[in-house]
Amino acid sequence: MSVITIEGPIAAGKTSLTELLSTRLNSTPFYEPVSDNPVLPLFYQGNKAVAAGKWKTNPYAFLLQIFFLNRRFKMIKQAFAEANNVLDRSIYTDALFCKMNYERGNMTKVEWETYQELLANMLEELPNAAHKKAPDLMIYIDVSYETMLHRIKLRGRDYELPAQDPSLESYYQDLLERYRSFKKGYQTSPLLVLDGDRYDFVHQPAQRDAVLRQIYTKLARLGQLSDQEHEHLLEELTN
């Protein structure tokens, strides 16, 4: 019984891995609020307007961050309470996006400071609200810029394509650098880094099984799987 969070840049494969793991581990998936997010397309339009010099800041940046923060806080409280689940991204990387928006001029200083205070209050309250301090494992999917762009094109959201908005190229490059810094400094829970360039766990069964073996072994070493459970899961891969 464990709480696993999946992290990584845009289009790294977080949702696919969440679905795969929740099925294999018989746990509950919690998905990032994208399909039902009315602010996200507006945010991309706002970034485009800022890059073109039409607006000084993006009026949707702060709104988007609060939308995500509210959903992620609710998700992780529920996940910690149920204690057997997989989260498609979590509250722990939320500030990465907000700080980037502030430093790129999409958000005002007052908005950034307000967000920081709110996030700090939420994280302070989380152990009391959910009776758990941290995930049992964070899985980080590491991908290059080329792989990220390839997968962005595959999922076909026009507002995410640099061809539609050239300013997204520098935005994505910046995002990758910030994720790399996050990965190096993360200490909240055990961390497993997967090579998302090497392993296509969505389309290649052999590579999918290789990734699952890494995850099962890490969970077993952390005491999140018994020897019997670990052996059973590995046997499933050979059948």
Q: What distance in Å separates the CA atoms of residue 142 and residue 135, rounded to the nearest whole number?
A: 19
Instruction: Say if residue 15 carries a ligand binding annotation.
Output: yes
Q: At a CB cut-off of 8 Å and minimum separation 6, what does 203 contact?
A: none
DSSP-derived letter for residue 237 is H
Active-site hit among 36, 88, 165, 197: 88
Instruction: Say if residue 32 carries a ligand binding annotation.
Output: yes
Instruction: Say if residue 21 carries a ligand binding annotation.
Output: no
- Per the rule left: phi > 0, alpha: psi between -120 and 50, beta: everything else, 225 is beta
Instruction: Say if residue 198 carries a ligand binding annotation.
Output: no
DSSP-derived letter for residue 59 is T
Instruction: Say if residue 28 carries a ligand binding annotation.
Output: no
Nearest to 18 by CA among 99, 75, 102, 103: 75
Instruction: Say if residue 235 carries a ligand binding annotation.
Output: no
165 is catalytic: no
Are the C-beta atoms of residues 42 and 99 closer than 8 Å to each other? Answer: no
Instruction: Say if residue 6 carries a ligand binding annotation.
Output: no
Q: What distance in Å separates the CA atoms of residue 153 and residue 118, rounded to the nearest whole number?
A: 34
Instruction: Say if residue 11 carries a ligand binding annotation.
Output: yes
- Give the largest CA-CA distance in the chain: 61
Instruction: Say if residue 9 carries a ligand binding annotation.
Output: yes
Instruction: Say if residue 8 carries a ligand binding annotation.
Output: yes
Instruction: Say if residue 169 carries a ligand binding annotation.
Output: no
Are the C-beta atoms of residues 86 and 24 closer than 8 Å to each other? Answer: no
Instruction: Say if residue 94 carries a ligand binding annotation.
Output: yes
Q: What distance in Å separates the CA atoms of residue 45 and residue 49, rounded to the nearest whole number?
A: 6
Q: What distance in Å separates the CA atoms of residue 42 and residue 60, rounded to the nearest whole number?
A: 7
Q: Which residues are annotated as a binding site for substrate?
A: 32, 44, 65, 89, 94, 160
The catalytic residues are 88
Q: Which residues are annotated as a binding site for ATP?
A: 8-16, 151-155
Q: Which residues are annotated as a binding site?
A: 8-16, 32, 44, 65, 89, 94, 151-155, 160
